[in-house]
Chains A and B, each alone.
Chain A
Amino acid sequence: MKDFRAEVIKNIPPSGIRAFFELVIGMEDVISLGVGEPDFVTPWHICEAAIYSVEKGATSYTSNLGLLELREKIADYLCRKFDVSYEPKKEILITVGASEAIDLAFRAICNPGDEVIIFDPSYVAYVPIVTLAGGKPVVISMVEGDDIIFDVNKVRENITNNTKAIFINYPNNPTGKSFSRDELIQIAEVADEFDLLVVSDEIYGELTYDYNHVSFPSLPGMKERTILISGFSKAFAMTGWRIGYAAAPNYIIEAMMKIHQYSILCAPIASQIAAVEALNRGEKDMRLMRKEYHKRRNVIVDGFNKIGLPCPHPEGAFYAFPSIKRLPFTSEEFCHTLLKEENVAVVPGTAFGKSGEGFIRCAYAASMENIKAALTRIESFLKRRGLNVSG
């Protein structure tokens, strides 16, 4: 029999995260800093609102675009928080997680061969999704030594006649880095100059610790060039509910809708109702969680710097991305050996792209106790090999 799989699928490499996950399952007593989702459970009043709605018979489809009430709440929220206004009836689409919104965005905009600029390292799904949509990922490394640096010239150098979009994610998974307003303005200028679209994944927008998040479409002239992607997974600890959204100019939302209406129909109604509750009364919970992440951020960054694994300063999300370049290991070797010897799981930077080599992603969506215990174990791992820095 022949191999029935499509070529494009055969050529997509297996996920580095998945491979590492296979190693960890079955192991006991692992402290995992490998989990890319909140360690908080969804605030109870949000769960309760969904339970109540199911009891009251909310078990049907919703409009393809999603519940109007939810779209209105999102529009209101985006306006209030990030000073950008979207028309809920025309410019917002509720999706099954930000993941679906990303998929729709590129399927809606990519002609075969259209180039999409992606910063490396990047969230694991970006390159595959753009590829599956028929686009061509053009990957730009942000790594300089032990640091993650944005350099607009690298973007300019990689623009061709085929460039269609720049795909940004800030605060960033896996690095925790964000963009300052200045850096965003530089991106906006390039988008303007070369007539490009910007797909902006701001799912960690609420989780910033050092300055206020600036939403890309809020920059002058950018709303018309932006597909804003976000969701409830991170800020409201709602990963399992699978609710995200896209906000964009009407003709793009319509294009995304064409795919969504046939492949998904609509996001689950109970989850949409939970999301309404999150926006109605969940901001206090969100602030408390953010405060907790902020403290943990300070602890983990301080910890890594002290043991001589310098961290690019993570302004947001819940990831630290320390460099292990001074050690005689590749990222993979380091993570495997650390797991075997110390039962600590961290994810090799290479799971997020080539330029992640020499880094490890450590999620601090973990209890303070676990963060400290993990740091202690990593330190003794280094000490045993004489690789600690004496201080």
Chain B
Amino acid sequence: MKDELHLKREILEILSVDCTKTASEIAVMLNQSEETVSLLIRQMEKDKTILAYRAVVNRQKVESTKTQCIIEVTCSPQRGVGFDAIAQRIYKFPEVRSLFLISGGFDLLLIVEGETMKDICFFVAEKLATLDHVKGTSTHFLLKRYKEDGFILEDGEKEQRLAITP
């Protein structure tokens, strides 16, 4: 059903910007009935299209001590499963927040989070680098965040418009 898919996309677009929007608010925006919107949202929750509702946080505001790094991994693919098996081994570690297979000079890109730098060093040296099929790693610690998930983190540009214009 093309219409349903289209409507789902519209709903997801709204929720990805602001997951606090209720079904009834979304219904008004899209000129649909609240029942339809609720139903589709429930469906998407059930089939794991929607994975979670969470806040986008500017961690610099709360001086989070958590450390994050980006790790490039080169590894050898395995017959029959390609990179999937090694990826699975890696993403099961809770430290790994995101994992992507990418093209270019290396194979897997990880975003890893730890309480301290030491935690991350330990994870890389003891867990990641020692895995069979992992041929090399290159770890980049994150120093400052400028933009997160589409939001510019510097305290924003202020409204420039006049209060009343024709």
- Whether A34 lies near B29 (C-beta < 8 A) is no
Closest to B14 in A: A295
Interface size (A, Cβ < 8 Å)? Answer: 26
Closest to A369 in B: B18
Interface size (B, Cβ < 8 Å)? Answer: 14
Q: How far is the CA of A41 from the CA of B166 in the complex (A)?
A: 18
B163 partner, pick from A125, A295, A345, beta carbons under 8 A: A345
B31 partner, pick from A21, A30, A296, A298, beta carbons under 8 A: A298
- A24 and B165 contact, Cβ closer than 8 Å, known pairs A295-B29, A298-B28, A302-B28: no
- Whether A34 lies near B30 (C-beta < 8 A) is no
List B contacts of A32 (CB < 8 A): 163-164
- Whether B164 lies near A35 (C-beta < 8 A) is yes
- A36 and B163 contact, Cβ closer than 8 Å, known pairs A298-B30, A298-B31, A299-B29: no
- A124 and B163 contact, Cβ closer than 8 Å, known pairs A295-B29, A298-B28: no
Say what secondary structure dominates the interface of chain B: loop
Could you tell me the distance in whole angstroms from the C-beta of B156 to the nearest C-beta in chain A? 11
Could you tell me the distance in whole angstroms from the C-beta of A114 to the nearest C-beta in chain B? 25
Question: A123 on the interface (CB 8 Å rule)?
Answer: yes
Binary contact readout B126-166 vs A (1 if CB under 8 angstroms, 0 otherwise): 00000000000000000000000000000001001111111
Question: A20 on the interface (CB 8 Å rule)?
Answer: yes
Closest to A19 in B: B164
- A125 and B166 contact, Cβ closer than 8 Å, known pairs A295-B30, A298-B30, A299-B29: yes
Closest to A16 in B: B166
List A contacts of B164 (CB < 8 A): 17, 20-21, 24, 32, 34-35, 345, 347
List B contacts of A342 (CB < 8 A): none
Closest to B29 in A: A295
Chain A, 2-33, CB within 8 A of any chain B CB: 15, 17, 20-21, 24-25, 30, 32
Q: How far is the CA of A10 from the CA of B49 in the complex (A)?
A: 65
Q: How far is the CA of A41 from the CA of B156 in the complex (A)?
A: 13
